[in-house]
Amino acid sequence: MTQVTTFKIGASEVDELIMLINDYSGYDFSDYSMPSLQRRFQRYIDLNKISDFKQLLQDLMNDSSMLNNLIEEVTVNVTEMFRDPSFFAAIRTELVPQLNKLPLIKIWHAGCSTGEEVYSMAILLKEHNLLDKSIIYATDINQSVLDVAKSGKYSIESFKENELNYRESEGTKKLSDYYIVLNGEVLMNDDLKTKIIFSTHNLVSDNAFNQFDLIICRNVLIYFNKSLQDNVLQMFYNSLSENGILAIGSKETIMFSPIENFMQVINAKWKIWKKKV
């Protein structure tokens, strides 16, 4: 096996790329977590077998589709349906009774990526007869993952795992009740989609745009540095309605952030908080 020696990127090259992307696309990655950004850039360089960094900079400046590919590589997040089944089980048992009381449920999935978690949520709501009175806003910075999310089409390979997750999340039916298989592809049922609004939203630069009863943003903040995390958490706080709930990833925290004292814990393990009255 011959291995191509690709360029090994260091801190100063990461800075150069951040500046170039900002100048040529307006996306600002300067408050992303450096180690993960470095890893993302390195992955792009390895995948494309790039050995000359100067040439890469030239190409990115001259070729906007290449620049877009790089941005997509940096912003794409891996996800699956009913990831962390116990988290969804906790929503069923701990949040559903409260949501049930609301006349209209407004939910924001921030950084929804290819949409698996959004559909998981829609299924859960449907099973508890809440979907009809819900509006789910699903946003991401990356247009191409949003296109996948909107289409509701997924590769069938991941669905064995998804089905297991669904059952562990205490789902009452079968996951396959919510999709059909067409030409070897999974296609999510249309009735799930009617209540979902997909839209681009950049957590770095865009502001709060509504009031929500539930904000879900899991494994997105890990890619930001502490100060950007604080800003985004503040925006989430500002977007929460009275008694609004915030759920973040299980290895993330709002401790040491400006909103720490204004939130109370609902579920410590799954990092579910509620706005203090």
Partner 1 sequence: MEDMEKEGVIIFGGSAGSIEVIMNIFPFIPEDYPFAIVVVLHRKNTVEHHLEDVLSRKAKIPVIEIQDKMQLKPANIYIAPGDYHLLVDETGLCTLDYSEKVNYSRPSIDVTFDCFANAFGNRCIGILLSGANSDGAESLKKIQDHGGLTIVQSPESAAVATMPMAAINLFNPHVIADISEIAGMLLEAAKYPISHYINQIKHGYELNNSLPTILIVDDLEDNLFSLNAVLKFEGYIIHKANSGPLALEMASKIQYDCIILDVQMPEMDGFEVANILGKNEFTKNIPIIFLSALGSDKEKVLQGMDSGAIDFLAKPVDPPLIKAKLKLCIKLSSKYKDSKKIFSAIKEEHSSLQEVNSEFSASLRYAQNIQQAILPTAEVINALFKDNFVIFRPKESIGGDFYYVKEVGNEIIFMCGDCTGHGVPGAMMSMISANIIHNIIDTKKIIVPNLILNAMVREFRKAFRNEFSNITIQDGLEVAICTYYKKEKKLQYAGAGRPIIIANQDGIKTIKSSSSGISGNVSENYDFELNEFDIEEGDQLYLYSDGIVDQFGGPHNKKFMTKRLVQLLSSNLDLPMSEQKEIIDNSIVSWKEGQEQIDDILVMGLKF
Q: Which residues would be at the binding site for partner 1 (CB under 8 A)?
A: 10, 33-36, 39-40, 43, 77-78, 219, 221-223, 225-226, 229, 249, 251-253
The least CB distance from residue 164 to partner 1, in Å, is 8
Minimum CB–partner distance for residue 53 and partner 1 (Å): 16
Instruction: Report helix angle 11-25 to 64-75, nearest 10.
Output: 120
User: What is the helix (H) or strand (E) element at residue 161, kind and residue range?
Assistant: helix 159-168
CA distance 221 to 230: 9
CB of 73 to partner 1, least distance (A): 10
Q: Which amino acid is located at 134 in the chain?
A: S
- Identity of the residue, 131 or 215, whose beta carbon is nearer to partner 1 in the bound complex: 215
- Judged by CB, which is closer to partner 1: 165, or 239? 165
Nearer to partner 1, 125 or 249 (CB): 249
Q: How far apart are CA 175 and CA 162, in angstroms?
A: 8
Which residue lies nearer to partner 1 by CB, 222 or 266? 222
Q: Return the amino acid letter for 141.
A: I
Identity of residue 38: Q
Minimal distance in Å, beta carbon 277 to partner 1?
A: 27
Min dist. Cβ of residue 43 to partner 1 (A): 8
| Cβ–Cβ < 8 Å for 232, 224 | yes
Exposure b/e, 93-116, CB count within 10 A at least 16 = b? eebeeebeeeeebbbbbbbbbbbb
Minimum distance from residue 251 beta carbon to partner 1 (Å):
5
**Distance (Å, rounded) from C-alpha 113 to C-alpha 200?**
10
Cα 271 from Cα 250, distance rounded (Å): 6
Q: Which is nearer to partner 1, 63 or 161 (CB)?
A: 161
Residue 190 C-beta: closest distance to partner 1, Å:
30
Residues 6+ apart with CB under 8 A from 193: 122, 150, 152
Closest to partner 1 by CB, 174 vs 226, is 226
Between 94 and 252, CB nearer to partner 1:
252
